DNA sequence: CGCGTTTACGTCGTTCGTAACGATA
DNA sequence: TATCGTTACGAACGACGTAAACGCG
């Protein structure tokens, strides 16, 4: 068995069982791939693919398992080359991140700008999706970092660092009744209006309904959308009161919208960053985390990355007070 | 980078940085090893070893990391060949187990006998040691299975299956005061005698002292030993009352010793079996677990081995009632 | 001078790409 | 007939082992 054989195997699979395509991807000849595959199958003494005539038709059950293991081998080999680049002080490589719309749109832009200024040779990849899609990407090692909020159940295989807390805000058109009300916002007053908020199943949204139910309220959710931009649009149209993450309220929204702090009405939510346990962290990755969470000292991030158990990580992070993130700093309501 | 280079690298390390020895171990020529190592270092662009003249003197820090990753690669390659053997239905291979004296001496013999009858071509290796030594062996992947009791803190990286429960018994010479006493044993009556028990730091022994302290008792521990055989000897000599695991009481001990059930006085202890999360489990390994824990259906063991999270494993095992293991079945006190 | 590594070199095996062939839809 | 995989073949490369040289203790 050689690394080349395993690489070829994975290339074939990732090319849809098309050996010719795999050959092109690898800048080599097609018969070479064929031969190596035969050799690998011969050595293992099993068919990794079912054949339909001469073409590969499907992966055998045994093949699936071998492919899974082969991917691990290649990942670790990647890790070794990654290590060597790191130890030579090269600041080249890639950083791929999977995250939600809220982070991608309201939090990451300035982080990424600062990052790519400091590391112009690092290729950045940003994937946006639902929690489930993010989990899929990080669990199959297609991305390096996952940044999400709330539920960690889908991400139990990761090392996870808390980044910051946030609360929800209520969003109304300027001049709306609620905007005039000087008293603190309550769930009861909110429940009197149709609500516009995120689609459920996203980060901790179950806590949204629970908060109302705990007070015996059953608010009407007029509309749900995947991201705050759309919610804002519908709030402007007067569809109802928007309930969004505090970070999603921008200063220029002040022109026609008013944010009302809803801290305390709903549970506080933590945004965290996770990465596979056995991944080699390049120094630019540590720096990215530091840019994203400046309140975490680089030393602690470095240690946390090495921590073997969640407990050891807890111990390291015990003292750190996470900031609560708001949106527009000029607006006292959102910056609470 | 090739697998050969990584294999050679590990062989060099495991031969004490002696390239000639590594060559012999690998049944190849010494210059070949040298050349491959040079090539690997060249490709990685770093020194993996410091040289003293021409000899290898030590591993560089960078080398340590590369070696660590290289071991992982080779492990996964092992896993692939393991898979292929398994899927071809071969019942050959090795099974190495690290465990404590109690298991090795009183529990495993009959399991191993049955196992090696059924799988004569599987090589068995049994390592005996303290919890710490067992943790070291399994965490460095030098053994396949760890079998131990009590604390799982040292073994957080493993998949763990509970095997059975056990309690402690008090052991006295035949004719001892306590043996005559018809009333149920209490901590108080125990504390009146010098005690002989396991050395602390072993499985859950901290709970031993705690049990007494909870009742404000401070027993005198006259003697501690690593295993029950030695404890029995000293109990026979009249050094004190022995406190040992129920399994360690054998029928032939009845000749001159008397076991008194101590269930309830100390916390019940669970013996479990653990193995590395990413290990390929050969079918004979599953069978070994089944022989060790016949009350766990093979189907459940198979599923448990595949479970990704501890929670999924809990769910599978939720219904299973573990037996409480005693020693000599003829003795009602020990077989409680 | 012995031990261990490196260098040098000839041999052998393997891989690679091109080209031709075969099978399938 | 177009697509895709296999077979065939010659050239080039690389690995291996033997033998000799080198450096260190």
Same domain, B129 and B250: no
User: Which bases on strand D have an atom closer than 7 Å to a protein beta carbon?
Assistant: 4-8, 15-19, 22-25
B residues 273..292 contacting A (CB < 8 A): 278, 280
Q: Is residue A330 part of a domain?
A: no
Task: For residue B104, list its beta bridge partners.
Answer: none
pLDDT at A334: 42
pLDDT at A203: 52
Same domain, A7 and A79: yes
Same domain, A129 and A71: no
Work out whether strand B122-128 and strand B257-261 pair parallel, antiparallel, or are unpaired.
unpaired
Look-up of token digits 């302290």: B213
Pairs of CB atoms within 8 A across A/B: 80
Same domain, A114 and A238: no
Same domain, B127 and B216: no
Same domain, B226 and B81: no
Q: What is the 3-state secondary structure (H, E, C) of chain B?
A: CCHHHHHHHHHHHHCCCCHHHHHHHCCCCHHHHHHHHHHHHHHHCCCCEEEECCEEEEECHHHHHHHHHHHHHHHHHHHHHHHHHHHCCCCCEEEEEEECHHHHHHHHHHHHHHHHHHCCCEEEEEEECCHHHHHHHHHCCCCCEEEEECCCHHHCCEEEEEEEEECEEEEEECCCHHHHCCCCCCHHHHHCCCEEEECCCCCCCHHHHHHHHHCCCCCCEEEEECCHHHHHHHHHCCCCEEEEEHHHCCHHHHHCEEEEECECCECCEEEEEEEECCCCCCHHHHHHHHHHCCCCCHHHHHHHHHCCCHHHHHHHHCCCCCCEECCCCCCCCCCC
How is A105-120 classified by DSSP, letter by letter?
A: IIIHHHHHHHHHHH-T
Please check the confidence at residue B79 and state whether its pLDDT lies above 70: yes
Work out whether strand A241-245 and strand A195-198 pair parallel, antiparallel, or are unpaired.
parallel
Same domain, A243 and A284: no
Same domain, A137 and A279: yes
Same domain, B59 and B31: yes
**Cα–Cα distance, B123 to A96 (Å, whole number):** 45
Segment B282-323, tens digit of pLDDT? 999 999 999 999 999 898 899 888 888 778 888 888 778 889
Nearest CA in chain B to A156: B309
**Looking at the C1' of nucleotide C22, which residue has the nearest alpha carbon?**
A54
Counting the structural domains of chain B, the total is 3
Task: Choose the closest CB to B1 out of A3, A44, A45.
Answer: A3
Percentage with pLDDT > 90 across chain A: 65
Between the CA of A84 and the C1' of C13, what is the distance in angstroms? 31
Residues in A touching B62 (Cβ below 8 Å): 83-84, 87
Task: Choose the closest CB to A2 out of B2, B46, B81.
Answer: B2
Please check the confidence at residue B335 and state whether its pLDDT lies above 60: no
User: Which domain, by its residues, includes A10?
Assistant: 3-85
Q: Which of A248, A267, A286 is the last residue of a domain?
A: A267
The domain spanning residue B299 has which CATH number?
3.40.190.10
A44 and B76 in contact by Cβ < 8 A?
no
Sequence-distant (≥ 6) Cβ neighbours of residue B326 within 8 angstroms: B166, B246, B247, B249, B334, B335, B336
Same domain, B148 and B203: no
- Report residue B334's pLDDT band, with 50, 70 and 90 as the boundaries: very low
Residues in A touching B66 (Cβ below 8 Å): 80, 83-84
The domain spanning residue B16 has which CATH number?
1.10.10.10
pTM of the predicted model, to two decimals? 0.87
Give B145 to chain A, closest Cα distance, Å.
20
Task: For residue B271, list its beta bridge partners.
Answer: B149, B164
3-state secondary structure of A258: strand
Looking across all nucleic acid strands, the nucleotide with the smallest C1' to CA distance from residue B15 is C4
Task: Choose the closest CB to B2 out of A3, A87, A278.
Answer: A3
Same domain, A157 and A176: no
Q: Which of A222, A244, A267 is the last residue of a domain?
A: A267
Residues in chain A predicted with pLDDT less than 50, given as ranges, are: 333-336
Residues in A touching B87 (Cβ below 8 Å): 46, 62, 65
Same domain, A143 and A291: yes
**Cα–Cα distance, A32 to A2 (Å, whole number):** 14
**Cα–Cα distance, A11 to A23 (Å, whole number):** 8
Q: Which of B37, B60, B85 is the last residue of a domain?
A: B85
């Amino acid at each position: 068995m050689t690394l080349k054989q395993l690489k070829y195997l994975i290339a074939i699979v990732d090319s849809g069982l098309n050996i010719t395509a795999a050959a092109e991807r690898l800048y080599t000849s097609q018969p070479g791939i064929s031969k190596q595959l035969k050799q690998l199958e011969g050595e293992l003494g099993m068919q990794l693919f079912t054949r339909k005539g001469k073409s590969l038709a499907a992966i055998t059950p045994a093949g699936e398992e071998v492919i899974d293991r082969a991917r691990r081998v290649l990942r670790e080999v990647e890790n070794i080359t990654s290590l060597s680049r790191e130890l030579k002080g090269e600041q080249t490589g890639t950083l791929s991140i999977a995250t939600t719309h809220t982070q991608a749109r309201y939090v990451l832009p300035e982080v990424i700008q600062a990052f790519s200024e400091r590391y112009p040779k690092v290729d950045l990849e940003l994937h946006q999706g639902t929690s489930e899609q993010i989990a899929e990407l990080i669990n199959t090692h297609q991305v390096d970092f996952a940044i999400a909020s709330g539920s960690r159940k889908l991400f139990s295989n990761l090392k996870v660092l808390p980044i910051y807390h946030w609360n929800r805000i209520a969003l109304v058109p300027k001049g709306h009744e609620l905007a005039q009300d000087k008293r603190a916002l309550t769930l009861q007053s909110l429940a009197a209006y149709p609500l516009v908020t995120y689609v459920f199943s996203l980060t901790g949204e179950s806590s949204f309904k629970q908060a109302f139910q705990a007070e015996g309220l059953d608010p009407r959710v007029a509309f749900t959308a995947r991201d705050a931009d759309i919610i804002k649009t519908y709030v402007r149209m007067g569809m109802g009161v928007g309930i969004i993450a505090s970070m999603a309220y921008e200063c220029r929204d002040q022109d026609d919208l008013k944010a009302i702090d809803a801290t305390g009405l709903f549970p506080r939510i933590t945004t965290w960053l996770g990465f596979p346990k056995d991944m080699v962290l390049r120094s630019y990755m540590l720096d990215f985390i530091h840019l994203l969470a400046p309140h975490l000292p680089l030393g602690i991030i470095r240690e946390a990355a090495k921590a073997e158990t969640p407990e050891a990580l807890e111990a390291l992070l015990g003292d750190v007070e996470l900031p609560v993130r708001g949106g527009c700093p000029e607006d006292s309501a959102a910056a609470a």
